[in-house]
Amino acid sequence: MADSTRPTTPAGVSGPGAPGNDGPGDQALDEVVTFTSELIRIDTTNHGGGDCREQPAAEYAAERLTGAGLEPVLLERTPGRTNVVARIAGTDPSADALLVHGHLDVVPAHPDDWAVHPFSGEIRDGMVWGRGAIDMKNMDAMILSVVRDWARRGVRPRRDVVVAFTADEEASAVDGSGFLARHHPELFEGCTEAIGESGAFTFHAGPDLALYPVGAGERGTGWLKLTADGRAGHGSKVNRENAVSRLAAAVARIGEYRWPVRLTPTVRAALTETAALYGIDIDPDDPDFDADAILAKLGHAGALIEPVIRNSANPTILQAGYKVNVIPGTATAHVDGRFVPGGEEEFTATMDQLTGPDVDWEFQHRMIALEAPVDSPTYARMAEALKRFDPDAHVVPYCMSGGTDAKQFARLGITGYGFSPLQLPIGFDYQALFHGVDERVPVTALHFGVRVLDHFLRHA
Provide the annotated active-site residues. Answer: 105, 169
CB of 416 to Zn ion, least distance (A): 13
Instruction: Report the C-alpha gap between 270 and 364 in whole angstroms.
Output: 31
> Rounded to whole angstroms, what are the CA distances from 308 to 69, 150, 214, 287, 303?
42, 38, 14, 20, 10
Instruction: Report the C-alpha gap between 154 and 371 in whole angstroms.
Output: 35
Give the nearest residue (CB) to Zn ion: 135
| Per-residue b or e along 130-152, where b marks 16 or more CB atoms closer than 10 Å to that residue's CB | bbbbbbbbbbbbbbbbbbbbbee
Torsion 441-443-448-450 (CA) sign: positive
Strands (E) located in 73-166: 73-76, 82-88, 97-103, 123-124, 127-129, 161-166
362 three-state secondary structure: strand
- Could you count the other beta carbons within 10 Å of the beta carbon of residue 94? 6
Instruction: Report the C-alpha gap between 82 and 74 in whole angstroms.
Output: 6
Task: Count the helix, strand and coil residues of the chain and give each as a percent rounded to the nearest 5.
Answer: 35, 25, 40
- Does 439 sit near Zn ion (CB under 5 A)? no
Enumerate residues 168-197 that contact Zn ion by CB under 5 A. Answer: 197
CB of 399 to Zn ion, least distance (A): 17
| Amino acid identity at 53 | R
Closer to Zn ion by CB, 136 or 301: give it. 136
Torsion 250-255-258-262 (CA) sign: positive
In total, the chain counts a number of residues equal to 460
Closer to Zn ion by CB, 171 or 313: give it. 171
CB of 133 to Zn ion, least distance (A): 12
Closer to Zn ion by CB, 31 or 197: give it. 197
220 three-state secondary structure: strand
Q: Residue count at the site for Zn ion (CB under 5 A)?
A: 3
Closer to Zn ion by CB, 135 or 149: give it. 135
Which of 169, 205, 114, 172 minimizes the C-alpha distance to 436?
114
Closer to Zn ion by CB, 48 or 67: give it. 48
Closer to Zn ion by CB, 104 or 250: give it. 104
Q: What is the CA radius of gyration of the chain?
A: 24
* Stretch of 8-16, 134-142, 317-325, 381-389 contacting Zn ion, by CB under 5 A: 134-142
* Stretch of 7-15, 57-65, 133-141, 180-188 contacting Zn ion, by CB under 5 A: 133-141
CB of 384 to Zn ion, least distance (A): 26
CB of 345 to Zn ion, least distance (A): 29
- Does 122 sit near Zn ion (CB under 5 A)? no
CB of 268 to Zn ion, least distance (A): 26
CB of 130 to Zn ion, least distance (A): 14
Closer to Zn ion by CB, 337 or 403: give it. 403
Instruction: Report the C-alpha gap between 454 and 14 in whole angstroms.
Output: 14
Bond preceding residue 136 cis, omega within 30 of 0: yes
Closer to Zn ion by CB, 387 or 435: give it. 435
Strands (E) located in 35-89: 73-76, 82-88
- Does 135 sit near Zn ion (CB under 5 A)? yes
| Amino acid identity at 221 | T
CB of 420 to Zn ion, least distance (A): 9
Residues at the site binding Zn ion, with contacts judged by CB under 5 A: 135-136, 197
